[in-house]
Protein backbone atom coordinates (compact mmCIF):
# COMPACT_ATOMS: atom_id res chain seq x y z
CA UNK A 1 0.00 0.00 0.00
CA UNK A 2 1.44 3.34 -0.95
CA UNK A 3 0.52 6.11 1.47
CA UNK A 4 1.16 9.02 -0.83
CA UNK A 5 3.62 11.60 0.40
CA UNK A 6 3.29 12.01 4.20
CA UNK A 7 0.64 13.19 6.57
CA UNK A 8 2.32 16.59 6.32
CA UNK A 9 0.95 16.84 2.81
CA UNK A 10 -2.51 17.44 4.26
CA UNK A 11 -1.58 21.07 4.67
CA UNK A 12 2.14 21.43 5.18
CA UNK A 13 3.24 22.25 8.67
CA UNK A 14 -0.37 22.85 9.72
CA UNK A 15 -1.17 19.17 9.29
CA UNK A 16 1.59 18.16 11.65
CA UNK A 17 0.13 20.25 14.43
CA UNK A 18 -3.33 19.02 13.54
CA UNK A 19 -2.38 15.38 13.99
CA UNK A 20 -0.89 16.15 17.37
CA UNK A 21 -4.15 17.68 18.62
CA UNK A 22 -7.03 15.16 18.42
CA UNK A 23 -9.64 17.71 19.51
CA UNK A 24 -10.09 21.41 20.06
CA UNK A 25 -7.32 22.46 22.43
CA UNK A 26 -8.88 25.67 23.68
CA UNK A 27 -12.25 27.22 24.17
CA UNK A 28 -11.35 29.86 21.61
CA UNK A 29 -10.29 27.35 18.98
CA UNK A 30 -12.04 27.33 15.58
CA UNK A 31 -15.33 25.44 15.44
CA UNK A 32 -15.93 22.97 12.58
CA UNK A 33 -19.51 22.98 11.37
CA UNK A 34 -19.37 20.88 8.21
CA UNK A 35 -17.00 18.53 6.41
CA UNK A 36 -17.92 17.28 2.93
CA UNK A 37 -16.22 14.60 0.85
CA UNK A 38 -17.18 14.07 -2.80
CA UNK A 39 -20.40 16.02 -2.42
CA UNK A 40 -21.59 13.60 0.24
CA UNK A 41 -21.43 10.65 -2.15
CA UNK A 42 -19.43 7.46 -1.79
CA UNK A 43 -16.10 7.33 -3.62
CA UNK A 44 -16.34 4.53 -6.20
CA UNK A 45 -13.23 3.21 -7.99
CA UNK A 46 -12.81 0.74 -10.82
CA UNK A 47 -9.60 -1.14 -11.56
CA UNK A 48 -7.34 1.36 -13.31
CA UNK A 49 -8.76 4.88 -13.74
CA UNK A 50 -7.89 7.46 -11.03
CA UNK A 51 -10.66 9.66 -9.65
CA UNK A 52 -10.34 13.19 -8.28
CA UNK A 53 -12.82 14.26 -5.62
CA UNK A 54 -13.35 17.54 -3.81
CA UNK A 55 -13.15 17.70 -0.03
CA UNK A 56 -14.01 20.72 2.09
CA UNK A 57 -14.21 21.88 5.67
CA UNK A 58 -16.36 24.73 6.95
CA UNK A 59 -15.24 26.41 10.16
CA UNK A 60 -15.72 29.61 12.11
CA UNK A 61 -13.75 31.76 14.57
CA UNK A 62 -13.98 35.33 15.79
CA UNK A 63 -10.74 36.22 13.99
CA UNK A 64 -11.71 34.47 10.77
CA UNK A 65 -10.42 31.25 9.19
CA UNK A 66 -6.94 31.09 7.66
CA UNK A 67 -6.93 27.53 6.32
CA UNK A 68 -8.37 24.05 6.72
CA UNK A 69 -7.30 20.49 6.05
CA UNK A 70 -8.83 17.08 5.40
CA UNK A 71 -7.28 13.63 5.11
CA UNK A 72 -9.00 10.28 4.58
CA UNK A 73 -7.57 7.30 6.40
CA UNK A 74 -8.40 3.63 6.80
CA UNK A 75 -7.79 1.47 9.81
CA UNK A 76 -8.49 1.17 13.52
CA UNK A 77 -6.17 3.85 14.86
CA UNK A 78 -4.46 6.86 13.35
CA UNK A 79 -1.32 6.25 15.39
CA UNK A 80 -0.99 2.46 15.24
CA UNK A 81 -3.63 0.91 13.01
CA UNK A 82 -3.69 3.05 9.85
CA UNK A 83 -3.21 0.99 6.69
CA UNK A 84 -4.32 3.53 4.07
CA UNK A 85 -4.31 7.29 3.60
CA UNK A 86 -5.58 9.65 0.92
CA UNK A 87 -4.22 13.18 1.12
CA UNK A 88 -4.67 16.38 -0.89
CA UNK A 89 -1.76 17.40 -3.08
CA UNK A 90 -2.09 21.17 -2.66
CA UNK A 91 -2.91 23.84 -0.09
CA UNK A 92 -6.53 24.60 0.67
CA UNK A 93 -8.43 27.37 -1.09
CA UNK A 94 -10.66 29.14 1.41
CA UNK A 95 -13.75 31.20 0.59
CA UNK A 96 -15.16 33.50 3.25
CA UNK A 97 -18.89 33.28 3.91
CA UNK A 98 -18.57 36.05 6.48
CA UNK A 99 -15.90 37.73 8.61
CA UNK A 100 -15.88 34.70 10.91
CA UNK A 101 -16.77 31.71 8.73
CA UNK A 102 -15.08 30.16 5.70
CA UNK A 103 -15.15 26.98 3.66
CA UNK A 104 -11.75 25.59 2.69
CA UNK A 105 -11.67 23.26 -0.31
CA UNK A 106 -9.07 20.79 -1.57
CA UNK A 107 -8.95 17.92 -4.05
CA UNK A 108 -7.85 14.35 -3.49
CA UNK A 109 -6.90 12.07 -6.39
CA UNK A 110 -7.39 8.36 -5.73
CA UNK A 111 -5.50 5.93 -7.95
CA UNK A 112 -6.73 2.33 -7.57
CA UNK A 113 -3.38 0.95 -8.73
CA UNK A 114 -1.35 2.97 -6.23
CA UNK A 115 -3.66 3.78 -3.34
CA UNK A 116 -6.04 0.81 -3.23
CA UNK A 117 -3.86 -2.26 -3.56
CA UNK A 118 -6.02 -4.48 -1.32
CA UNK A 119 -9.71 -5.28 -1.57
CA UNK A 120 -9.88 -5.02 2.22
CA UNK A 121 -9.56 -1.24 1.84
CA UNK A 122 -13.12 -1.08 0.52
CA UNK A 123 -15.65 0.19 3.03
CA UNK A 124 -15.62 2.85 5.71
CA UNK A 125 -12.82 5.45 5.87
CA UNK A 126 -12.26 8.04 8.60
CA UNK A 127 -12.19 11.74 7.79
CA UNK A 128 -9.49 13.68 9.63
CA UNK A 129 -10.42 17.35 9.53
CA UNK A 130 -9.26 20.59 11.07
CA UNK A 131 -8.88 24.33 10.66
CA UNK A 132 -6.64 27.19 11.75
CA UNK A 133 -7.94 30.62 12.64
CA UNK A 134 -6.29 33.86 11.60
CA UNK A 135 -5.11 34.38 15.18
CA UNK A 136 -3.12 31.13 14.98
CA UNK A 137 -5.40 28.94 17.10
CA UNK A 138 -6.38 25.59 15.58
CA UNK A 139 -8.54 22.55 16.07
CA UNK A 140 -8.43 19.07 14.56
CA UNK A 141 -10.29 15.78 14.81
CA UNK A 142 -8.77 12.40 14.00
CA UNK A 143 -12.18 11.15 12.87
CA UNK A 144 -14.69 13.96 12.40
CA UNK A 145 -16.91 11.67 10.30
CA UNK A 146 -16.67 8.74 7.91
CA UNK A 147 -17.10 8.14 4.20
CA UNK A 148 -17.11 5.04 1.99
CA UNK A 149 -14.59 4.02 -0.65
CA UNK A 150 -16.15 1.30 -2.82
CA UNK A 151 -15.33 -1.22 -5.54
CA UNK A 152 -17.17 -0.36 -8.78
CA UNK A 153 -19.92 -2.84 -9.65
CA UNK A 154 -21.26 -3.92 -13.03
CA UNK A 155 -24.45 -5.80 -13.91
CA UNK A 156 -25.78 -7.29 -17.13
CA UNK A 157 -29.11 -8.72 -18.27
CA UNK A 158 -30.43 -10.70 -21.21
CA UNK A 159 -34.02 -11.90 -21.56
CA UNK A 160 -34.64 -14.58 -24.21
CA UNK A 161 -36.08 -15.71 -26.51
CA UNK A 162 -37.12 -12.58 -28.37
CA UNK A 163 -39.89 -12.61 -29.53
CA UNK A 164 -41.73 -15.23 -27.48
CA UNK A 165 -45.20 -16.71 -27.54
CA UNK A 166 -47.54 -15.85 -24.68
CA UNK A 167 -47.38 -18.47 -21.92
CA UNK A 168 -43.93 -19.71 -22.93
CA UNK A 169 -40.86 -19.48 -20.72
CA UNK A 170 -38.55 -16.50 -20.72
CA UNK A 171 -35.04 -17.11 -19.37
CA UNK A 172 -33.36 -14.07 -17.85
CA UNK A 173 -29.61 -14.30 -17.46
CA UNK A 174 -26.96 -11.85 -16.36
CA UNK A 175 -23.87 -11.37 -14.23
CA UNK A 176 -22.91 -9.27 -11.22
CA UNK A 177 -19.24 -8.31 -11.06
CA UNK A 178 -17.11 -5.79 -9.17
CA UNK A 179 -13.62 -4.37 -9.34
CA UNK A 180 -10.83 -6.45 -7.85
CA UNK A 181 -8.14 -3.97 -6.75
CA UNK A 182 -5.60 -6.75 -6.33
CA UNK A 183 -5.82 -8.23 -9.82
CA UNK A 184 -7.03 -5.06 -11.62
CA UNK A 185 -9.86 -7.00 -13.25
CA UNK A 186 -13.56 -7.54 -12.63
CA UNK A 187 -14.67 -10.68 -10.83
CA UNK A 188 -18.05 -12.18 -9.96
CA UNK A 189 -19.71 -10.88 -6.80
CA UNK A 190 -20.95 -14.11 -5.31
CA UNK A 191 -24.08 -15.05 -3.35
CA UNK A 192 -25.62 -11.58 -3.51
CA UNK A 193 -29.38 -10.87 -3.66
CA UNK A 194 -30.43 -9.35 -6.97
CA UNK A 195 -33.96 -8.30 -7.91
CA UNK A 196 -35.56 -9.24 -11.20
CA UNK A 197 -37.87 -6.41 -12.21
CA UNK A 198 -40.42 -5.90 -14.98
CA UNK A 199 -42.06 -2.92 -16.65
CA UNK A 200 -44.93 -3.24 -19.11
CA UNK A 201 -44.38 -1.68 -22.53
CA UNK A 202 -47.04 0.90 -21.71
CA UNK A 203 -46.00 1.29 -18.07
CA UNK A 204 -43.79 3.86 -16.39
CA UNK A 205 -42.48 2.01 -13.33
CA UNK A 206 -40.71 -1.27 -12.64
CA UNK A 207 -42.01 -3.80 -10.13
CA UNK A 208 -39.99 -6.57 -8.49
CA UNK A 209 -41.00 -10.02 -9.70
CA UNK A 210 -38.59 -12.07 -7.60
CA UNK A 211 -35.20 -11.92 -5.86
CA UNK A 212 -32.47 -14.41 -6.72
CA UNK A 213 -28.85 -14.79 -5.61
CA UNK A 214 -25.76 -14.64 -7.78
CA UNK A 215 -23.82 -17.88 -8.21
CA UNK A 216 -20.26 -18.65 -7.14
CA UNK A 217 -19.13 -16.86 -10.31
CA UNK A 218 -21.56 -13.95 -10.04
CA UNK A 219 -23.88 -15.42 -12.70
CA UNK A 220 -27.64 -14.82 -12.59
CA UNK A 221 -30.32 -17.01 -14.12
CA UNK A 222 -34.03 -17.41 -13.60
CA UNK A 223 -37.21 -18.06 -15.59
CA UNK A 224 -40.62 -16.40 -15.87
CA UNK A 225 -43.74 -16.93 -17.96
CA UNK A 226 -44.33 -14.61 -20.91
CA UNK A 227 -47.48 -12.58 -20.40
CA UNK A 228 -47.26 -9.14 -21.99
CA UNK A 229 -44.74 -7.03 -23.90
CA UNK A 230 -42.27 -5.32 -21.63
CA UNK A 231 -38.81 -4.74 -20.24
CA UNK A 232 -36.85 -7.00 -17.90
CA UNK A 233 -33.96 -5.82 -15.76
CA UNK A 234 -31.80 -6.81 -12.79
CA UNK A 235 -31.22 -4.50 -9.82
CA UNK A 236 -28.59 -4.86 -7.08
CA UNK A 237 -29.05 -2.80 -3.89
CA UNK A 238 -25.35 -2.60 -3.05
CA UNK A 239 -23.34 -3.20 0.13
CA UNK A 240 -20.97 -1.13 2.27
CA UNK A 241 -18.09 -2.08 -0.02
CA UNK A 242 -19.89 -2.12 -3.39
CA UNK A 243 -22.34 0.41 -4.88
CA UNK A 244 -25.84 -0.30 -6.10
CA UNK A 245 -26.28 -0.94 -9.81
CA UNK A 246 -29.27 -1.52 -12.09
CA UNK A 247 -29.28 -2.61 -15.72
CA UNK A 248 -31.24 -0.98 -18.49
CA UNK A 249 -34.38 -2.87 -19.44
CA UNK A 250 -34.18 -5.68 -22.03
CA UNK A 251 -37.34 -5.62 -24.15
CA UNK A 252 -39.23 -8.81 -24.94
CA UNK A 253 -42.00 -8.89 -27.54
CA UNK A 254 -44.76 -11.30 -26.47
CA UNK A 255 -46.91 -12.57 -29.33
Listed range (10-19, 122-131, 221-230) with the worst mean pLDDT: 10-19
pLDDT per position as a tens digit, 133-169: 999 999 999 999 999 999 999 999 999 999 999 999 9
What does the pLDDT look like over 85-109, one tens digit per residue? 999 988 999 999 999 999 999 999 9
Average per-residue pLDDT for the chain: 91
- What pLDDT digit, counting tens, does each position of 184-238 carry? 999 999 999 999 999 999 999 999 999 999 999 999 999 999 999 999 999 999 9
pLDDT number for residue 27? 53
Q: Which residues are within 8 A (CB) of 2 and not within 5 positions of it... i.e. 6 or more apart?
A: 114, 115, 117
> Model confidence over 56-84: pLDDT tens digits?
999 999 999 999 999 999 999 988 889 99
Q: Is the pLDDT of residue 12 over 60?
A: no
What is the model's pLDDT at position 89? 87
Residue 119 is predicted with a pLDDT of: 98
pTM of the prediction?
0.87
pLDDT at 79: 87
Amino acid sequence: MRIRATVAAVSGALALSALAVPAAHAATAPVLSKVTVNGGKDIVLGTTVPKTVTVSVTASHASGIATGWVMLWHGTSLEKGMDGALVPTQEATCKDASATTATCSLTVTVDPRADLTRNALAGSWHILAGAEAKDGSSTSYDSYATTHVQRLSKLTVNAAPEPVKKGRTITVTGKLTRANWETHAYAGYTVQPVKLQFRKKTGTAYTTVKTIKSSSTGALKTTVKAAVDGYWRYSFAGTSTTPAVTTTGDYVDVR
